[in-house]
Chain A
Amino acid sequence: MSVNLTLLLVMGVLFAVGIYLLLERSLTRVLLGLMLLANAANILLLATGGYAGPAPIYDKSIPPQEYNDPLPQAFILTSIVISFAVTAFMLGIIYRSWLLGRVDEIQDDREDRRVAAQDGYDEEEDSVIPVETSDFHAPGQTVSGGDRG
């Protein structure tokens, strides 16, 4: 199979720029990164079809191997439609995020931060259980653990 070097170079550049943008914190740039990645993948698909030939419309005078391979183009069409839908959805999310918080950045998960910051010591599970030597409590002495009735 022969490949088109220009296509491959463009694909590489698009992948590199796309991944770079994806790692940004700004949502709009992340979206741009995703769009570039989708285009890069589409170009890769196009490249697998080999060199361009005549359109695959049956003609007796053209030998079968001369035709352009139509399958990658069908793949690309599907993938364009899908990435179009996803892009529209992402735009909606970004707009919503802007409406809600006036930020165009990926937010930290609050629960995540809280769990990460929590103490290893847990009152209920880790506290020392006091040894009770008497069934009767001296006045004023608190019963540990409270009434569990």
Chain B
Amino acid sequence: MNVAALVPLPVALPFLGAALAFVLVRHPKAQRRASLATVALTLAVEVLVLALVWNAGPVAVHLGGWAPPFGIAMVADQFSSLLLVVSSAVSLAVLAYAAGQGAADDDARGPVSVFHPTYLLLVAGVSNAFLAGDLFNLYVGFEILLTASYVLMTLGGTASRVRAGTTYVVVSVVSSMLFLVSIAMIYGATGTVTLADLAVKLAALPQGTQNTLHILLLVAFGIKAAVFPLSFWLPDSYPTAPAPVTAVFAGLLTKVGVYAIVRTETLLFPGGHFDTVLMVVALLTMVIGILGAVAQTDIKRMLSFTLVSHIGYMIFGVAVANVLGLAAAIFYIIHHITVQTSLFMVAGLIERRGGTSSLLRLGGLAKMSPLLAVLYFIPAMNLSGIPPFSGFLGKMGLLEAGVAAGTPLAYVLVAGAVLASLLTLLAMARVWSRVFWRSPADAENPEPVLLATAPDSSGDWNMRALRTSKYVDATEGRFAGETEVPILPRMMVYSTLGLVVLGIALTVFAAPLFELSVHAAESMLARTPYITAVLSGGAP
């Protein structure tokens, strides 16, 4: 089996799928099936790549057959193929969730039939960023996923989405501009943009030049990863998007930024000159992010703040810069992609069932929908780092790495990580006690839906609600007769369940996964496997 032939497929397949989905715009059912099949196929290919790369080490493909430092390289090493697999698994779950929602609401007739092709482009962009072997291809990957995300963010064009979308687009474009400027400067200084070539040539530059380029890249990636002083755009823009879109953004987009930071720190500038800065930034991200979460009264906004806060843990692992720290960061990225996405999916279900996502208006969902309560409880405890779960294991690894580093700042960071973890538990427990535990009558301003619907022995499956869309008049026109939609479509619940189970599986299979993370971390810190794989000039 030739691995090299498989490496470009995770990018190419979603592109083809997107084209197919565009063709099928008028056939919503076929469109849904085509895009689900595409992502499933991509996932299968990536699992194969991961299995082949696991022991063999990094594999490079030189597109167009140009000799190593000149052509465009795509590189799959353990880290990137692991992220590819997890990100595709999560994308598949979210796509099924969105398809379930679309099938239930029959919104394919509306303007959102563009959702599927755009979503597949987003997946292609994420894969391209993970596989990119040169800096400019990384930029192109970022732009593909960002441009797709602009469209998804403003889907439907309501006032709040346009407002949130504006902030998001402007901030993202500025960060891309910074990235482009740093590419220009790096090219000016070294005459190359191939990552492996840069890893050799950057070291020859004067330290001052290196620091400038390093800082530029860190700022550009820091905006994308939502690291503390650069994170204010995220909680403002994510919550307004449709539930599946927020879920996939939360899982993938910031992690691509973290991925780029990891590559910068390990491959391009391995000296660790800014580890102290990164540690301080990680501490602030963790603590200030979670303080924001505690203050929120809306579930989606609260989750957006926890997302920011937990990015801090990953930066912590990168900043500690020993094998254990980096391995724990990789493990944490995988855990967080899965768990944060499932929480956002559950938040979407809560909003559907309860009619709102405001903590001031919800109540009594544990009684009305026990399944939803379980679906929320498991990832919430997982995120807070309660012992058996993968969140605990990842945090444990980070804390051990911090203690092993042994500097005073590392100890402060360990304390900060524990504090942020406790506050996450507080924020999660607040949602639990308000949304699920109290009776709806106790809410400050209870949602009428919750007071009106008594618990029903037939369960949630058969519950239907009146179509409430403001844009659709149910009594006349082409929507006549379609007045009811299911409140909790099975496909949405099953896809959420699938991701929650994946989160549990990360706990069960934590040992081999952590071993793989250590493997990936060692390979990245050693640097030579990656560099030789690219520069030795494999078959085109």
Point out residues on A near B: beta carbons under 8 Å.
1, 22, 27, 30, 34, 37-38, 41, 44-45, 47-48, 71-72, 75, 78-79, 82, 85-86, 89-90, 93, 96-97, 100-101, 106-107, 109, 111-112, 115, 118, 123-125, 145-149
User: Which chain A residues lie closer than 8 Å to B169 at the CB level?
Assistant: 86, 89-90, 93
Chain B 436-450: CB-based contact to A (< 8 A → 1; otherwise 0): 001101101000000
Chain B 409-437: CB-based contact to A (< 8 A → 1; otherwise 0): 00000000000000000000010001000
Report the number of A-B residue pairs with Cβ-Cβ less than 8 Å: 102
Whether B166 and A48, one on each chain, are in contact in the complex, defined by CB atoms closer than 8 angstroms, is no
User: Which chain B residues lie closer than 8 Å to A78 at the CB level?
Assistant: 136, 140
Is B184 an interface residue, CB under 8 A from the partner? yes
> Of the candidates B147, B170, B184, B439, which one forms a contact with A45 in the assembled complex, judged by CB atoms under 8 Å apart?
B184
User: Which chain B residues lie closer than 8 Å to A101 at the CB level?
Assistant: 159
Chain B 74-96: CB-based contact to A (< 8 A → 1; otherwise 0): 00000000000000000000000
User: Which chain B residues lie closer than 8 Å to A100 at the CB level?
Assistant: 157-159, 162
> B474 CB to closest chain A CB, in angstroms?
24
User: Which chain B residues lie closer than 8 Å to A96 at the CB level?
Assistant: 154, 157, 162
A48 to B430, CA, bound (A): 54
Is B298 an interface residue, CB under 8 A from the partner? yes
> Of the candidates B188, B434, B444, which one forms a contact with A1 in the assembled complex, judged by CB atoms under 8 Å apart?
B188
A51 to B151, CA, bound (A): 40
A63 to B218, CA, bound (A): 39
User: Which chain B residues lie closer than 8 Å to A47 at the CB level?
Assistant: 184, 188
Q: Could you pull out 20 A-B pairs where Cβ atoms are within 8 angstroms?
A: A27-B166, A37-B174, A41-B181, A44-B181, A47-B188, A72-B187, A75-B136, A75-B187, A82-B140, A82-B147, A97-B163, A100-B159, A106-B163, A107-B163, A109-B163, A115-B301, A124-B442, A145-B442, A147-B439, A148-B442
A41 to B297, CA, bound (A): 41
Whether B151 and A146, one on each chain, are in contact in the complex, defined by CB atoms closer than 8 angstroms, is no
Whether B174 and A148, one on each chain, are in contact in the complex, defined by CB atoms closer than 8 angstroms, is no
Is B296 an interface residue, CB under 8 A from the partner? yes
Whether A41 and B184, one on each chain, are in contact in the complex, defined by CB atoms closer than 8 angstroms, is yes
Is B212 an interface residue, CB under 8 A from the partner? no
Closest A residue to B170 using CB positions: A30
Chain B residues numbered 149-171 whose CB sits less than 8 Å from any CB in chain A: 150-151, 154, 157-159, 162-167, 169-170
Q: Report if A93-B297 is in contact (Cβ < 8 Å); known contacts: A44-B184, A149-B439.
A: no
A78 to B184, CA, bound (A): 13
A52 to B356, CA, bound (A): 61
User: Which chain A residues lie closer than 8 Å to B185 at the CB level?
Assistant: 44, 48
User: Which chain B residues lie closer than 8 Å to A22 at the CB level?
Assistant: 170, 174
Whether A106 and B167, one on each chain, are in contact in the complex, defined by CB atoms closer than 8 angstroms, is yes
A89 to B162, CA, bound (A): 11
> Of the candidates A38, A86, A93, A112, which one forms a contact with B147 in the assembled complex, judged by CB atoms under 8 Å apart?
A86
Whether B177 and A41, one on each chain, are in contact in the complex, defined by CB atoms closer than 8 angstroms, is yes
A30 to B181, CA, bound (A): 19
Closest B residue to A19 using CB positions: B174
A27 to B163, CA, bound (A): 11
Given contacts A85-B147, A109-B164, A148-B438, 9 further A-B contacts (CB under 8 A): A44-B181, A48-B187, A78-B140, A82-B147, A86-B169, A93-B166, A96-B157, A111-B239, A147-B439
Closest B residue to A45 using CB positions: B184
Is B466 an interface residue, CB under 8 A from the partner? no
Whether A45 and B180, one on each chain, are in contact in the complex, defined by CB atoms closer than 8 angstroms, is yes
User: Which chain B residues lie closer than 8 Å to A147 at the CB level?
Assistant: 439
Whether A146 and B180, one on each chain, are in contact in the complex, defined by CB atoms closer than 8 angstroms, is no
Is B143 an interface residue, CB under 8 A from the partner? yes
Is B173 an interface residue, CB under 8 A from the partner? yes
Closest A residue to B142 using CB positions: A82
Whether A71 and B187, one on each chain, are in contact in the complex, defined by CB atoms closer than 8 angstroms, is yes
A30 to B442, CA, bound (A): 46
User: Which chain A residues lie closer than 8 Å to B522 at the CB level?
Assistant: none
User: Which chain B residues lie closer than 8 Å to A48 at the CB level?
Assistant: 184-185, 187-188
Whether A106 and B147, one on each chain, are in contact in the complex, defined by CB atoms closer than 8 angstroms, is no
The interface centre, meaning the residue of A44, A93, A96, A125 with most chain B CB atoms within 10 A of its CB, is A93
A149 to B438, CA, bound (A): 9
Closest B residue to A78 using CB positions: B140
A115 to B302, CA, bound (A): 11
Is B215 an interface residue, CB under 8 A from the partner? no
Closest B residue to A38 using CB positions: B177
A84 to B128, CA, bound (A): 21
A1 to B180, CA, bound (A): 20
Q: Report if A115-B295 is in contact (Cβ < 8 Å); known contacts: A1-B188, A93-B165, A106-B167.
A: yes
User: Which chain A residues lie closer than 8 Å to B188 at the CB level?
Assistant: 1, 47-48
Whether A86 and B166, one on each chain, are in contact in the complex, defined by CB atoms closer than 8 angstroms, is no
A100 to B160, CA, bound (A): 10
Closest A residue to B187 using CB positions: A48
